[in-house]
Structure 1
């Protein structure tokens, strides 16, 4: 049960840091969070753990906060800014991949002890990145569009939980299908792949529901840019 209890604490730390980032840095902080989260999620996903007898990968919590960030941007600053944030995260992931693949090409000095560790992490990264880029771009754009549509139908401030969870839970299902297929098909046995797919989506579902109070808290924060006319 250690992984479960530690996982709850881990999720709370992610949410608190997310709120802190937005509280201190405003809209710029949300963009920075998305950039950092796209990188961290792809680093964490190479680690598998067991919880309740099922195999799952890490990275789902921090990845879930990306949807939290884009939904918050959509809510406060408009669909246009949310799309810009999606592209910002997309560029960050591509930039990281290109730079780190070039880093691996350098011939290490005979005293170097870190090249194997870098290769272990970033050598597998291209496949993860291909899966992540495809899943990220498709699911995030779907999330932005769904949130905007739900915002028109459920426009009351107290209905934010419908906009947030409705758009996120649908788009994350698509994200999980695309990512798990590209990144892990043929890497793990079929039964392990099914477990990873199932647990990945369940964790994302739980994270989305658990993040609801935090998006309400974040929406209550006020920054100078909140007075600007939001993009559409």
Structure 2
């Protein structure tokens, strides 16, 4: 442990405070599991939920919105517990997973169906997203997640690690705003009216932020559990916030 490690005055005294740059080079016990959960929920919410329109109480929405915000909650957990550098790794992992999923969907849908197999039309309806929606989804995720992590990490410094709810909700407000501002115009402007794009954009942004508020107790529980077991409190005081930066290896 280098000289940057000391007891955190803003959290449990049992947690050692480390800088985000050190955290990005450190091995954590549960980081890999959280990253897998993040990528899995991201892919499944886009693959299973994105193609279905649902209606509850007269409100129509994409079914994926019920689960996709969970990836933002896990993104908050990643940044809060493991720091921006480790969250950055997960965003890139999710980005390339989405790119591969889109490529695989395109190839599989384009393959000529076997004679006698009657599922091609249904398969195309579920997995045959247009190029605009694919580009919109990948671009919005990438930008929105980085904004989410950046805002949370900066707010953690401003709050001294206190009031977790302010940064999880605050980062989601900004991250989901960027996500929605990119996704809906790229995917649907010109196909839908401008009014429809604006209405759905604002409605879905509000629903995603509401999900974050509802899941705040769960976020507190997961963050607390992970911090106690990892034994550290990460503050991104010297972190390089470029999305393209890489962590330098630890020196002996």
What is the match of residue 28 of structure 1? 32
Q: Does 1:188 align with 2:154?
A: no
1:26-56, CA deviations, whole angstroms, 9 ceiling, x for partnerless residues?
3222211221222223232222233454432
> Is residue 42–residue 125 contact of structure 1 (8 Å, CA) maintained in 2?
no
- Larger Rg, first or second structure (1 or 2): 2
Q: How does 1:33-44 map to 2 (within 5 A)?
A: 33-43=37-47, 44=49
> Is residue 42–residue 129 contact of structure 1 (8 Å, CA) maintained in 2?
no
Give distance in 2, aligned partners of 1:52 and 1:201: 19
Q: Does 1:105 align with 2:81?
A: no
Q: Aligned-pair RMSD on alpha carbons? A: 2.4
What is the match of residue 219 of structure 1? 223
TM-score of the superposition, structure 2-length normalised?
Answer: 0.74
Higher share in helix: 1
Aligned length: 207
Q: Which residue of the other structure, out of 133, 137, 140, is the alignment partner of 1:132?
A: 137
Residue 225 of structure 2 aligns to a residue whose secondary structure is coil
114-123 vs 208-217, greater mean Cα deviation: 114-123
Once the 2 structures are TM-superposed, how far is the Cα of residue 223 of structure 1 from its aligned partner?
8.0
What is the match of residue 4 of structure 1? none
> Is residue 42–residue 59 contact of structure 1 (8 Å, CA) maintained in 2?
yes
Once the 2 structures are TM-superposed, how far is the Cα of residue 102 of structure 1 from its aligned partner?
1.1
Give distance in 1, aligned partners of 2:203 and 2:189: 16
Once the 2 structures are TM-superposed, how far is the Cα of residue 215 of structure 1 from its aligned partner?
0.8
Give distance in 2, aligned partners of 1:174 and 1:133: 13
> Is residue 69–residue 208 contact of structure 2 (8 Å, CA) maintained in 1?
yes
148-157 vs 32-41, greater mean Cα deviation: 32-41
Q: Which residue of the other structure, out of 163, 170, 176, is the alignment partner of 1:172?
A: 176
For structure 2, which runs of at least 5 residues remain unmatched after alignment? 1-28, 240-252
Q: 1:224 to 1:203 in 2, by over 3 A?
A: closer
Higher relative contact order (CA 8 A, sep 6+): 2
Once the 2 structures are TM-superposed, how far is the Cα of residue 219 of structure 1 from its aligned partner?
1.4
> Is residue 97–residue 126 contact of structure 1 (8 Å, CA) maintained in 2?
no
